[in-house]
Amino acid sequence: MAKQVTTVSDEGYSATNDIREFETTIDANGDDAPDTLEALLAAYGSCYVPALRVGGQQRGADDLGRIEIETTGELNDDDKLESIQFDIRVAADVDDDTGDEILERAFELCKVHDALKDSLHADANLDANAF
């Protein structure tokens, strides 16, 4: 199985992404849409939500209720991600030990977390005069 996204940019730094029947826009400058790093942080947080829910179920917290994740990406001097911080709030009453177990399990389950590894690098080829 594979996932496929088609990204098109006719000019400038904004790109439209076709994802199945959905369309999103990402603007590297952040002028007309979320920038690339904001889109990555949003995908990471969005992936971590279901991982938290499943991790909670697997660690005895069957219903976490409302989940809010404030994701902060600190940038280095080159405007590249240096670190990511999740500040997570849940409605459920969860003790600290169970909370730590849920967080650990959620990182194991989160597919975006898994994809942010050094060994994952896109193979690329370029076809010139394609249009």
Residues 41 and 24 in one domain: no
Q: Where are the alpha helices (DSSP H) in 59-126?
A: 96-109, 111-115
Confirm whether 57 is domain-assigned. yes
Residue 47 · residue 78 · CB < 8 Å: no
Confirm whether 130 is domain-assigned. no
Residues 46 and 95 in one domain: yes
Helix axes 36-58, 96-109, angle to 10 degrees: 120
Instruction: Note the pLDDT tens digit of each residue in 46-82.
Output: 999 999 999 999 999 999 999 999 999 999 999 999 9
Instruction: Note the pLDDT tens digit of each residue in 37-48.
Output: 999 999 999 999
Backbone CA torsion sign across 60, 56, 85, 121: positive
Residues 52 and 109 in one domain: yes
Confirm whether 54 is domain-assigned. yes
Q: What is the pTM of this model?
A: 0.90
